[in-house]
Structure 1
Amino acid sequence: MQRQLIRFVFAGGIGFVVDTAVLYLMLWLGLGYFAGRAVSFLCAVWVTWQLNRRITFSASGHQSAWAEWVRYLAAMSVGGGVNYAVYSGVVSMVRPAPWLPLLAVAAGSTAALLVNFATAKWWVFKHARSNHS
């Protein structure tokens, strides 16, 4: 399980970069902190699903990729609620600054990490091979 958590954190780190980059792009396009984060979150979830199904949990084909994606999106939405609440708190309490989106995404992602790992491991990928544990 320790290896899986390390790989999950690695995938999450890449997801964090995607999340933050897409958020800055959405802000540049005028979408705003909250709608922009909804778009960036979906992009990050898709990227982390691709990584986690290949390197973290080695999805074994017990479900279709589409069904797995829907389960993963649902599972990450649980942690996403935690993530978005912390992100929103930071955005609401800290003066606007160029680094604010980065700080807020980092705080939200950190707060949701264990919730996301638990739902991925024990619900989405519960039938995955355990050779990565």
Structure 2
Amino acid sequence: MVRAARPGGKVAGQILRFGIVGGIGFLVDAGLLHLMLRLGLGYYGGRAVSFLAAASATWILNRSFTFRRETSPARHPAGEWLAYLGLMVIGGVVNYGTYALAVELAEPVRRYPVLGVALGSIAGMAINFWSAKTMVFERKAKP
């Protein structure tokens, strides 16, 4: 039985998978931030380390799970990873800025930094999805 493709079904599935991967990235980010705080790296240095680790983890998962059919075999993985990290910096600036603003303005976030990580993650997700889909993983049509 052949099923007709639903308009937007492909993108909706990607958004769902991107969200799942983002949830895993959130756990990596928050868990590593907690560890970095315990090791004395501080709110900002610890978050820089945790963000880089989370972005690397989400690149691997998005490459193999979210956009697996769209990943160009011609692109070298190291170049793709660098492009992904570079573009995630845009969403990361929004993410980190939201986190920093929340830490500065909200006592509950200073008490529970994971709240700031959550706010930052939500703020950067739309930007990250669009840039990953259109600039990293989407195969270009051959002329």
TM-score normalised per structure 1: 0.92
**Contact in 1 for aligned 2:95/2:120 (Cα 8 Å):** yes
Retained in 2: the 8 A contact 1:18–1:44?
Answer: yes
Report if aligned partners of 1:5, 1:117 keep a CA contact under 8 Å in 2: yes
* Dislocated runs of 4+, deviation >3 Å: none
Contact 1:62-1:127 within 8 A present in 2 as well: no
Determine the structure 1 residue equivalent to 2:75: 63
Alignment of 1:36-75 (within 5 A): 36-58=46-68, 59-75=71-87
Structure 2 regions of 5+ residues with no counterpart? 1-10
Q: Identify which range, 78-87 or 88-97, moves more after superposition.
A: 88-97
Q: How many correspondences in the alignment?
A: 126
In the superposition, the TM-score normalised over structure 2's length comes to: 0.86
RMSD over equivalenced CA pairs, Å: 1.0
Q: Does 1:84 align with 2:60?
A: no
Distance 1:78 1:91 in 2: 20
**Structure 1 residue 61 displacement after superposition:** 1.2
**Structure of higher RCO (CA pairs closer than 8 Å, 6+ residues apart):** 1
The code of the aligned residue for 1:23 comes to L
What percentage of aligned pairs have identical amino acids?
A: 48
| Distance apart, 1:93 and its partner CA | 1.1
**Structure 1 gaps, min length 5:** 129-133
